[in-house]
Amino acid sequence: MKVGFIGLGQMGAAMAGNLVKAGHEIVVHNRTQSKAKPLTDLGAVFAASIADACKGDAVVTMLADDLALETVVLGHRGIIECLRPGALHVSTSTMSIAMSRKLTEAHAAAGQKFVAAPVFGRPEVAQAGKLAVVAAGEAASVEIAAPIFAAIGQKTFVISDMPWRANLLKLSGNFLIASAIESLGEAIALVAKGGIEKAQYVEILTSTLFNVPVYKTYGSLIAGGKFEPAGFVAPLGQKDIRLALSAAEELQVPMPIAGLLRDRFLSLLATGGEALDWSAIGALASRDAGITP
Amino acid sequence: MKVGFIGLGQMGAAMAGNLVKAGHEIVVHNRTQSKAKPLTDLGAVFAASIADACKGDAVVTMLADDLALETVVLGHRGIIECLRPGALHVSTSTMSIAMSRKLTEAHAAAGQKFVAAPVFGRPEVAQAGKLAVVAAGEAASVEIAAPIFAAIGQKTFVISDMPWRANLLKLSGNFLIASAIESLGEAIALVAKGGIEKAQYVEILTSTLFNVPVYKTYGSLIAGGKFEPAGFVAPLGQKDIRLALSAAEELQVPMPIAGLLRDRFLSLLATGGEALDWSAIGALASRDAGITP
């Protein structure tokens, strides 16, 4: 397939690389051109504009937030303007359900296909081509996107013909991860203040009840108090909890843990945590208990 | 070994059965004698009194709460009075850290050995002899208990020479499980109200991010709204959160999620949930969102 790829952050660059390796003809675009270098070395072509990335069968986006999507997709000389009718936009970004609906309508009006396909996995998982892809959109569009999903992920789950539902599922998943981080933070503060060795504690938990990468990764980060370099920075975590709460407000679903997580992120950002991994909220319970995280 | 076993609830009966099968000479005692029948069928001997269960090398207890421990261990004709000096008491119950310290002191004063060895796993895991055992006590005592741990569990973690630390770790683990239940409940309410099929949602989560029995078991129970028969009844869950909060208060560790869980259990009990599995707190977010759990 001839595919454009827009957004070469840690996640996007890894995903675009796997599309090149799978033999697709990839044209990459990024605001900062230097980030495209490793991909052009692999055989991708650099596009100086969004329009130049929109000349193929499909364009994939991996952008940081709603604002970037607004600009890249709906803005002047953006995807809606430049993609040919009948071509496909696959959005892998985490976005609000409101933005997802807005993009669905705009693409429909322009006669273009649209699939929301947010992914689960940190950058190293993306690198390995082992992401989990949650896709939603019209069946025919999802089918066209299948080779793209095969290149970037290990498993694809098709959940609905309405794209925004995939974005809702992604937000709920990030909420669950943040909940696990916060509860690990509280448990570690409790046992550490009781004199139990933190690393041994995490080892026991993650070789029994919670033998799964989410708990292993974040348990070690919290026990070690090591939140740099960030795999996923705190402001992005904060944004996802905000989007989950915003979906919860629209759907009228009270979520008390989500409310608590919002405050944890505010406290982390208020005390200089902008550059830290989002799991640094897991150190706040120790701080509140008067012990060194 | 010649071992007494006191407390034949779902967990205790399964554990005592595995001790018999491992070839130990087991004497069982329970307030309600009928519960001993399956074990005497296997070859265990029934003891009519606590005293009669205390004549061997060791006595193991699996009791529901601090009050039962107070009676059975410290009461008239209890374990402290009846166990010979030098013999061992292994307490596998979940108890407060205050009670654990009290038992440690009482056993020391009586010249008896004491090991706290709470276990992780639901009744079916106990049945399979695959519990995780977290043990704490003097090294020599823990060593004597090793054949008992080998019969009831798959892994044993020795964490300290102070018994109460094992009880603290157990409470923190139950807190983490309850946290996972509550956050699953909130996430399921959110996506279900957004029109995503609950069973498919749990399947996606537990085949990717949360591929682990805690999330699988409780995710299915919450998605299916099926909380009977209970593997672990709500009042026991409530008790464990109360004990975790009580340890947190003593150690001065603020735990906001634990506070929230306390209120969930109160609400569950206030609305007729006494006989339900503790995971029924995971249905409260759906109820609060005005949808059928």
Closest Cα partner for B28 from B94, B153, B43, B77? B43
pLDDT value for A168: 98
Confidence band of B260 (pLDDT split at 50, 70, 90)? very high
> Would you call A285 and B254 a contact, using CB atoms and an 8 Å cutoff?
yes
Q: How far is B200 from chain A (nearest CA, A)?
A: 8
Provide mean pLDDT across the span A106-128: 96
> Would you call B180 and A180 a contact, using CB atoms and an 8 Å cutoff?
yes
Q: How far is B180 from chain A (nearest CA, A)?
A: 7
Asked if residue A289 lies in contact with residue A193, where contact means CB atoms within 8 angstroms, the answer is: yes
Which are the catalytic amino acids of B? 170
Provide mean pLDDT across the span A146-175: 98
Residue ranges in B22-138 assigned as alpha helix (H): 37-42, 66-69, 79-82, 97-109, 123-127
pLDDT value for B164: 98
Q: Is the pLDDT of residue A292 over 90?
A: no
> Would you call B172 and A160 a contact, using CB atoms and an 8 Å cutoff?
no
Asked if residue A221 lies in contact with residue A255, where contact means CB atoms within 8 angstroms, the answer is: no
Asked if residue B78 lies in contact with residue B50, where contact means CB atoms within 8 angstroms, the answer is: yes
Asked if residue A106 lies in contact with residue A115, where contact means CB atoms within 8 angstroms, the answer is: no
Contacts of residue A258 in chain B, CB cutoff 8 Å? Answer: 186
Collect all residues with Cβ–Cβ distance below 8 Å to A119 and sequence separation of at least 6: A11, A15, A92, A126, A131, A132, A133, A134, A152, A153, A170
Confidence band of B219 (pLDDT split at 50, 70, 90)? very high
Distance, in Å, from the CA atom of B45 to the CA atom of A97, rounded to the nearest integer, reads 64
Distance, in Å, from the CA atom of A136 to the CA atom of A116, rounded to the nearest integer, reads 6
Distance, in Å, from the CA atom of A102 to the CA atom of A96, rounded to the nearest integer, reads 10
Closest Cα partner for A232 from A265, A270, A271? A265
Confidence band of A122 (pLDDT split at 50, 70, 90)? confident
Confidence band of A293 (pLDDT split at 50, 70, 90)? confident
The tens digit of pLDDT for each residue in B105-146 reads: 999 999 999 999 999 998 999 999 999 999 999 999 999 999
Residue type, A183: S
Contacts of residue B282 in chain A, CB cutoff 8 Å? Answer: none
Q: Is the pLDDT of residue B293 over 80?
A: no
pLDDT value for B292: 85
pLDDT value for B140: 98
Question: What 8-state DSSP symbol labels residue A275?
Answer: T
Distance, in Å, from the CA atom of A155 to the CA atom of A173, rounded to the nearest integer, reads 16
Scanning every residue of chain A, which has its alpha carbon at the shortest distance from the alpha carbon of B201? A169
Q: Is the pLDDT of residue A60 over 80?
A: yes
Closest Cα partner for B62 from B41, B90, B22, B96? B90
Phi and psi, residue B67, nearest 5°: -65, -45
Q: Is the pLDDT of residue A10 over 90?
A: yes
pLDDT value for B122: 86
Asked if residue A282 lies in contact with residue A188, where contact means CB atoms within 8 angstroms, the answer is: yes
pLDDT value for A146: 98
The string of DSSP letters for A49-114 reads STGGGGSSSEEEE--SSHHHHIIIIISTT-HHHHSPTT-EEEE-S---HHHHHHHHHHHHHTT-EE
Distance, in Å, from the CA atom of B191 to the CA atom of B185, rounded to the nearest integer, reads 10
Asked if residue A161 lies in contact with residue A258, where contact means CB atoms within 8 angstroms, the answer is: no
Contacts of residue B181 in chain A, CB cutoff 8 Å? Answer: none
The tens digit of pLDDT for each residue in B26-70 reads: 999 999 999 999 999 999 999 999 999 999 999 999 999 999 999
Over chain B, what is the mean pLDDT? 97
> Would you call B175 and A191 a contact, using CB atoms and an 8 Å cutoff?
no
Scanning every residue of chain A, which has its alpha carbon at the shortest distance from the alpha carbon of B289? A253
Provide mean pLDDT across the span B181-201: 98
Provide mean pLDDT across the span A265-285: 98
pLDDT value for A154: 96
> Would you call A257 and B252 a contact, using CB atoms and an 8 Å cutoff?
no
Provide mean pLDDT across the span B12-20: 98
Contacts of residue B212 in chain A, CB cutoff 8 Å? Answer: 209-212
User: Torsion angle of alpha carbons B68, B72, B76, B78, nearest 10°?
Assistant: -170
pTM of the model: 0.95
pLDDT value for A125: 93
A158 strand-pairing partners = A135
> Would you call A168 and B194 a contact, using CB atoms and an 8 Å cutoff?
yes
Collect all residues with Cβ–Cβ distance below 8 Å to B248 and sequence separation of at least 6: A190, B254, B255, B258
Distance, in Å, from the CA atom of B124 to the CA atom of B190, rounded to the nearest integer, reads 31
